Amino acid sequence: MLPYPSGKLHMGHVRNYSIGDALARYMWMRGYNVLHPMGWDSFGLPAENAALKENRNPREWTLGNIGHMKVQMQRLGFAFDWSREVTTCEPEYYRWNQWFFLKMFERGLAYRKEALLNWCPECATVLANEQVVNGCCWRHETTPVEQRAMPQWFLKTTAYARELLEDMKQLEGGWPERVLAMQRNWIGRSEGAEIDFRLEPAGTRIRVFTTRIDTIYGATCIILAPEHPLVDQLMSTAEQRIAVKEMIDATARQETGQEEKLGLFTDCYAIHPFSGARIPIWIGNFVLMGYGTGAIMAVPAHDERDFEFCRAHGIPVVPVIRPLDGELADPPTMKEPFVEYGIVENSGEWSGLASAEARKKMAAYASQHGFGAAAITYRLKDWGISRQRYWGTPIPIIYCPDCGAVPVPEKDLPVRLPAGVKITGEGRSPLETVASFMNVPCPKCGRPARRESDTMDTFVDSSWYFYRYCDARNHRAPFDSATIARWFPIDQYIGGVEHAILHLIYSRFWTKVMRDIALIRNEEPVKRLFTQGMVIKDGAKMSKSLGNVVSPDDMVERYGADSARMYSLFAAPPDRDLDWQEDGVSGVSKFLSRVYRFVTRNAEATSGSGEADRDALRSLHQTIQKITTDFDSRWHFNTSIAALMELTNELLEKEERLSSDVRRSICRDLTLLLAPFAPYTTQDLWETLGETGPAFRQPWPKFDPQLAEQDEIEIPVQVNGKLRGHIRVAPGTPKEQLEQLARENAKVKPFLEGKQIVKVITVFDRLVNIVVK
RNA sequence: GCUGGAGUGGCGGAACUGGCAGACGCACGGGACUCAAAAUCCCGCGUUCUUCACUGAACAUGUGGGUUCGACCCCCACCUCCAGCACCA
């Protein structure tokens, strides 16, 4: 066995794949043709960092790892079509990643700019936003990340912000509400207005974004983010600049949730565009450069943060919104701002209007007079895809001293990763040190130029791997459009909720871009999404970074692949978190052994009375119905498996009294019912039964309602809603008769004596409830 | 604070459309087989009371109300836990 780091594939993955695999097998048995792309994370951070530590060539190492992971998955018996496997770390996949990048570059959807990046001094590398936890590196929880300014490539996801948000309507019902909520929140649309304040006396405009233009007469100062471009101009002395720098540093040191609102006065003033008043310009650390315009108008009377800031720095509070059921607040006695809508007051000609109306009219006025307009702002930011890493798709750009950033011509794709690169861990892109890679002639003018040394984020790979899977060996295009039209959008996607705002936004974005370049016609990649719960171990999510993983290999060793897989489905419904308690696996293992023994000893002709045949067949068909329903509607595989256990228990009890023919036919159906969950056991049994071919390609057992029908049912009898007895009747017994039998029942009678029967509620075939007084 | 979700035995969980609460499994206790152990099989297993016993009763689905013949399920208020976002103007 190859060596590999702790649990590359762990029970969290196994659970995820077991759900998809069970469903795929079931769909096959129901006669569907199923394409089943499986993604797994085998590239990127953990692999590269581990390699870095051991100072080995990441390519060999990672490929070995992928190979091992594949072995693990094959050992676990996932019915994935390996011939279509998409390996995203091969030059052919790079080619198409680069091809997409060039298409986006042509359309202005890929651009380069200087940006602040998260930097972990411990790892000596950059981190993506999502890898920063509480201001620290996710791998070094006590090491705060630093910010480093670096030029980097962005994909313009913001160009699709509106569409990504609006198209979520198409996903409603098919996607879990919490994922939609997270995406809505992440995209963060807010409707308001942008307003220009003139700087006095220079006349430079400061643009602010507000959702509450109706409160603008209450604006008592302007606050700029410390990183705002105007700050340099307004804070011209050395002391002032040092003060700004200190503010930025102090803010960086603060812990999340305990921020203090720091402020600096600029000694400058701006002119209020509505009232003409002269208001001071401040710098505040709570104003974010990354949202809106990086500058706000502070309305302390009607915004909590502004209130806190202005009170702390002695800036006046001017109430201009009157509550619908109250009076305009009195500044000296105000304890908190009034943040709701109300009636506008002290606002010139706008006084007396309702907030909602004032918002519209004031924005229109600003627009007419050229100092503002209604505006919509999104929280979503463009996707920074540059990584200073060896392992990834090289960004196909060449920097020429004369021509600037020149895209690599399509005919020269793919740009391959050079071999034999030493990973130094110094935090610069490893490719930078490879002269043969870096130095190339400019594609435009032919003079010496240098390649881009960064590689792409691995989320680029996962954004479209499932498209490629449908046509994995295509060398002329990323995939064939007609093939995609046949398979897309994906009917059912299954994954962890941790992808809600990463992979699942990126792949939606990628789909929209591909649609716009006429490669595909579907607008969304995934019609229905299922998010399985996490696997919890020792109170925390099972994950590589936390090191609390349970290796599937150990489980396979001890209980077998089928038991490990089945337990991951049995222990909890798939959408709920699963607390990993290893003790439970033995129960599933015992169950499989019982089935195995039952089927193998009944595979050949046996003898038996046959008096229990009817009952056994009834239970079998009730089970078929139950599992079929579970698959078709709600995927509660835990109850499906429980039903199979119940059936097996009953069959073992009745075994002696079953005829040979019935035993054999039940063995056949039982084996098939187990096929989606326990592939190895099933296949073994299938062959033991003298059958050939894969069990999971057999037709799913057919439910026969006549065989499932009960001859006699037990109906509960209640008195005043309390259970007092049961009556046994044939199904379909008329209500009158049920009522009669209920009254005469020996258990029930004592509760009726001396009482007056008010009424009797009889639910056909279900229940009788006698109401007495 | 906002958003989404969850609270049922010692534990994981079941109860599908408002109709027998605790399926199935784990753990535990008792027994059979065995020199012994493992494996396997059988029985018991919410709490309290009641009966010598068979049995029977009351109370139980986070808390408090409500609707209903009947509520784990629907409505109102609250508590706790988990997850995500969080100075978003």
Question: Tokens 């019912």 identify what position?
Answer: A673
CA distance A348 to A277: 12
Nucleotide closest to residue A570 (CA–C1'):
B25
**Which residues are within 8 A (CB) of A748 and not within 5 positions of it... i.e. 6 or more apart?**
A717, A719, A724, A725, A742, A770
In degrees, rounded to 5, the angle at the alpha carbon of residue A536 between the alpha carbons of residues A532 and A542 is 90
Residue with CA nearest to B68's C1' atom: A721
Between A256 and A54, the higher pLDDT residue: A256
Note the pLDDT tens digit of each residue in A398-435: 999 999 999 999 999 999 988 777 766 566 778 888 89
Calpha distance A656→A609 (Å, rounded)? 7
**DSSP tag of A696:** G
Say if residues A699 and A628 touch (Cβ distance below 8 Å).
no
Helix (H, G, I), strand (E, B) or coil at A741: helix
- Compute the mean pLDDT over every residue in chain A, rounded to the nearest whole number: 86
* Residues 25-64 of chain A in contact with strand B via CB under 7 angstroms: none
Q: Residue A8: pLDDT above 70?
A: no
Task: Give strand letter and number of the nucleotide nearest A723 (CA to C1').
Answer: B20
CA of A572 to C1' of B6 (A): 13
Question: With a 7 Å cutoff on the CB, does A202 touch strand B?
Answer: no
Say which residues have a Cβ less than 8 Å from residue A276's Cβ, sequence separation at least 6.
Answer: none
Contact between A449 and A440 (Cβ < 8 Å): yes
Give per-residue pLDDT as tens, A154-190: 999 999 999 999 999 999 888 988 899 889 989 999 9
Q: How many Cβ atoms are within 10 Å of A419's Cβ, its own excluded? A: 10
CA pseudo-torsion sign A485, A486, A492, A496:
negative
> How far is A622 from A635, CA to CA, in rounded Å?
17
Question: pLDDT-derived band of residue A286, with 50, 70 and 90 as boundaries?
Answer: very high
pLDDT of residue A53: 40
Angle between helices A11-29 and A552-559 (to 10 degrees): 60
Residue A58 has pLDDT above 50, yes or no: no
> In chain B, which nucleotides are within 7 Å of a protein Cβ?
3-6, 11-16, 19-21, 23-27, 39-42, 56-58, 69-71, 82-89
Q: Is the CB of A214 under 7 A from strand B?
A: no
A 608-667, residues with C-beta < 7 Å of strand B? 626, 629, 636, 638-639, 641-642, 645-646, 649, 652-653
Query: Which amino acid is residue A429, in one-letter code?
Result: S
Nucleic strand B contact set for A 526-565 (CB, < 7 Å) = none
Compare A547 and A40 and report the one with higher pLDDT.
A547
Mean pLDDT computed over A594-616: 89
Identify the pLDDT of residue A40: 56
Q: Which nucleotide C1' is nearest A129 CA?
A: B85
Instruction: Determine the Cα angle at A331 with ends A327 and A334, to 5°.
Output: 80
From residues 300-329 of A, list those within 7 angstroms of strand B by Cβ: 303, 305
Give the mean pLDDT of A224-247: 90
pLDDT at A658: 92
Angle at A569 between CA A674 and CA A19, to 5 degrees: 85
Taking the CA of residue A395 and the C1' sugar atom of nucleotide B50, their distance in angstroms comes to 82
Mean pLDDT of A70-76: 80
> Over 80: is that where the pLDDT of A611 sits?
yes
Q: Are A571 and A14 in contact (CB under 8 A)?
A: no
Mean pLDDT of A342-352: 93
Write out pLDDT tens, residues A541-599. Answer: 777 666 778 888 888 888 999 999 999 999 999 988 888 888 889 999 999 999 999 99
Q: What is the DSSP string of A177-203?
A: HHHHHHHHHHH--EEEEEEEEEEETT-
Rounded percentage of chain A residues whose pLDDT exceeds 90: 50
At residue A278, the pLDDT reads 94
Residues 327-386 of A with CB under 7 A from strand B: 377, 379
Measure the CA angle with vertex A535, ends A531 and A537; round to 5°: 160
**Phi-psi domain of A672 (left: phi exceeds 0; alpha: psi -120 through 50; beta: other):** alpha
pLDDT value of position A33: 86
Residue A56 has pLDDT above 50, yes or no: no
Strand A578-579 and strand A540-541: pairing?
Answer: unpaired
Which nucleotide is nearest to A262 if distance is taken from CA to C1'?
A: B87
| Span A502-526, pLDDT tens digits | 889 999 999 999 999 999 999 999 9
**Pair A103, A396: CB distance under 8 Å:** no
Does the CB of A767 sit below 7 A from strand B? yes
Most confident stretch, A35-49, A146-160, A470-484: A470-484
CB A316 within 8 A of CB A291: no
Residue with smallest Cα–C1' gap to B82: A577
User: How long is the CA A761 to C1' B67 vector, in angstroms?
Assistant: 18
Quote the ipTM score. Answer: 0.94
* Statement: residue A474 has pLDDT above 90: yes
Residue lying closest to nucleotide B12, CA to C1': A571
A150 forms bridges with which residues in the sheet? A115
